[in-house]
Amino acid sequence: MSDFNFTMEGLEELERDLTAAIGEYPATMREGLKGIAKEFRKSVRDKTPDGSEHRGDAKTKLRRKFGIKMREDGAASLALVYNSARHFHLVENGHNLVRGGQTVGFVPGKHMMERTRNEYEDILPQRFETLCDQVLRGHDL
């Protein structure tokens, strides 16, 4: 039987780098999530009708009512992009057209939030992977 002896050096450095990366990871991801939410808000805002075909400024107000709420629960973070206009759901999903108490047609929804969400389904995993790689590269991992 043969005896094999080996030694490993640098484990303390690796442990130190991993500990630092783990400590930095939640804050970096929160900031990244906030940036992604801002881009999402801009994208959905750009898809929102400007209201030029309607009287008044109901739809132009629609563009100004987008907001972002960030929630944190320990290490978990959540970004909520919302629109606080009372009629947003009507423009997004469509609604009956009523004249004189009678339904005379249906106005189809613009689905700007849904279209943006579908676009970000492909973008989001790549962006988080890039953020994760950034943290690891910052600590030579």
Domain membership flag for residue 68: yes
Kindly provide the b/e burial profile for residues 6-21, where b requires at least 16 CB atoms within 10 angstroms of the residue's own CB. Answer: eeeeeeeeeeebeeeb
Weakest mean pLDDT among 72-76, 87-91, 111-115, 116-120: 72-76
Domain membership flag for residue 72: yes
Kindly provide the b/e burial profile for residues 75-92, where b requires at least 16 CB atoms within 10 angstroms of the residue's own CB. Answer: eebebebebebeebebbb
The residue written with tokens 């929102």 in the block is 48
Backbone phi, psi, residue 86, to 5°: -65, -25
Cβ atoms of residues 23 and 15 within 8 Å? no
Per-residue pLDDT of 90-108, as tens digits, reads: 999 999 999 999 999 999 9
Domain membership flag for residue 4: no
Domain membership flag for residue 24: yes
pLDDT score of 8 more than 70 = no
Domain membership flag for residue 95: no
Please choose, from the candidates 8, 16, 70, 5, the residue with its C-alpha nearest in 3D space to the C-alpha of residue 38: 70
71 beta partners: 78
Domain membership flag for residue 2: no
Per-residue pLDDT of 12-49, as tens digits, reads: 887 888 888 788 888 888 999 999 999 999 999 999 88
Give the Cα separation of 133 and 141 in Å (integer).
Answer: 9
Domain membership flag for residue 97: no
**What's the pLDDT score for residue 117?**
95
Domain membership flag for residue 101: no
**Structural domain boundaries enclosing 36:** 12-84+123-138
If one counts the domains in the chain, the total is 1
Q: Is 101 left (phi over 0), alpha (psi -120 to 50) or beta?
A: left
- For 74-141, where are the E strands, in sequence order? 76-83, 94-99, 102-108
